[in-house]
Amino acid sequence: MFVDSHAHLEMEPFDQDREEAIQRAKDAGVSYILNVGSNLEGSSKAIQIASRHPFISAAVGIHPNESKGIEDHHFKELKKLSKASEVVAIGETGLDYYRNYSPKKVQVDLFKKHIQLAKEVGKPIIIHCRDAWEDLLPILNEEKVGELGGIIHCFSGDGELALKCVDLGFFISFGGPLTYPKAGMLREAAKAVPSERLLTETDCPYLAPQSRRGKRNEPAFVVETSEKLAKIKGIHPGDLGRIVLSNIQTLFGFGENNFSEKITYKIRNSLYVNVTDRCTNNCKFCNRTKNPMVAGYDLSLKKEPTAEETIAGMEDPGQYDEVVFCGFGEPTLRLEFIKTVAQWVKERGGRVRINTNGHGNLIYKRNILPDLKGLVDTISVSLNAENEERYNLLCKPEFGNGSYQAVKDFIRESVKVLPKVIVSVVRVPENMDVKECEDIAENELGAHFRVREFNVVG
């Protein structure tokens, strides 16, 4: 499943094979296209195209390069178009000082009209910005555009700028330029954007990805961009596709999110068990209470699953690389649940991993590792700091002082009992000494070591 969040199928380069291009997109696995108008005629055509294809929606707007000459009666027509059922967003609109086809003041005035229209109809906004950030960002702030939601399309800035846009409430969409050899800054920006704010696009017929550079772009080619973005984020392309589809559903509020309320969920070739959303840590970098999304799945729980419910809904565990007890909480809070389900998995030839914060012995006031012997193949324990002071600052454990030492003791006991022990840290923006954490994991505790990026969950 792939998403093209910004296409121009209404444009003249598609007049000869528009339907064929749409079919090629479907054949390539593209499950959603947003067709974006850039003038009145194009906006009307975008609606017509969307009306014929359920997996295509429309956005209506006037590109900043076409701002000159737009009068009140033109904008009244745009307002009419904006109320069509196929329209999910207003745009593209924004500022473009690179070409300067329209005077800056004219662009700014029309951009603000688009913002007011978006507020009036209650729809997100699709924003184009080129060489105009010094004017565009203050407008976004002053007009509180982020409250509407929207997309910074075909993003071309650095990571700091991308995060400013995220903080304002926007999704960041990356197109074909992400695949260009000299686009290092853009790839760093993509790495910085949290997964729950990522989108992909083509901006076709423009900006084809590297393998087709210089040729007409089309929605099917979003696959190449998606694969590059997945590589940058260190995740499987299928997982990225699910994340982006979930993000676009969140933004536009369309359809049914098929990834919510999951007892089990698949990432790569592993099956994850959504054990609990309770936790004994309150980590600064964790979205558990604000946005409990992992790899496109909503892991909020109305109630914790029983072992019987979990087993009943689980396919043959032997087909997966491993079954992972995880969720967006601390799994050892449900030790008997883990033991029951893990026993069932092991009896059917499956492998078991637990992702834990290492508080199990604190929770039960005893050593629980012998309970897991023979049931767990791998345990991954979050250390997340090089000393107690930083651990308390970052993780805010409910057990208070002494928690960090207890986690280290839990890791030592794990090494004695379980086949494989991994110590992990999240590379947070705070100045954690990752190298010292690695030394503690490997040399002091005798475990494997892994670093996870703070904005890539799953």
**Same CATH topology for 2-252 and 264-453?**
yes
pLDDT of residue 430: 67
pLDDT higher than 70, residue 429: no
Architecture (CATH level 2) of domain 2-252: Alpha-Beta Barrel (3.20)
Q: What is the pLDDT of residue 24?
A: 98
- Of 98-112, 176-190, 286-300, 375-389, least confident by mean pLDDT is 286-300
Quote the percentage of the chain above a pLDDT of 90.
82
pLDDT at 287: 73
Predicted pLDDT at 6? 98
pLDDT tens digit sequence for 57-95? 999 999 999 999 899 999 999 999 999 999 999 999 999
Asked if the model's pLDDT at residue 259 lies above 90, the reply is no
What are the backbone angles phi and psi of residue 264, rounded to the nearest 5°?
A: -125, 150
Confidence at residue 260, expressed as pLDDT on a 0 to 100 scale: 53
Residue ranges per structural domain of the chain: 2-252, 264-453
Q: What is the mean pLDDT of the chain?
A: 93
Q: Which helix (H) or strand (E) holds 427?
A: strand 420-427
In sequence order, the 6+-apart residues with CB closer than 8 A to the CB of 132 are 94, 95, 96, 97, 107
Q: Of 3.40.50.2300, 3.40.50.620, 3.40.50.170, 3.20.20.70, which CATH number belongs to 264-453?
A: 3.20.20.70
Q: How far, in Å, CA of 208 to CA of 421, rounded?
A: 44
**111 close to 93: Cβ distance less than 8 angstroms:** yes
Band of the pLDDT at 5, cuts 50, 70, 90? very high
Residue 86, phi-psi category: left (phi > 0), alpha (psi -120 to 50), beta (remainder): alpha
- Reported as a single tens digit per residue, the pLDDT across 284-317 is 888 777 777 777 777 788 899 999 999 998 989 9
Q: Which two tokens stand for residue 168?
A: 């304002």
Position 261 scores a pLDDT of: 57
The residue-averaged pLDDT of 379-393 equals: 95
Question: Quick one: DSSP state of residue 386?
Answer: S
Residue 458 has pLDDT above 80, yes or no: no
In this prediction, residue 100 carries a pLDDT of: 81
Cβ(197)–Cβ(167) under 8 Å? no
pLDDT at 374: 97
- pLDDT attached to residue 254: 73
State the pTM of this model.
Answer: 0.75
pLDDT at residue 226 in the model? 97
**So what's the pLDDT on residue 265?**
87
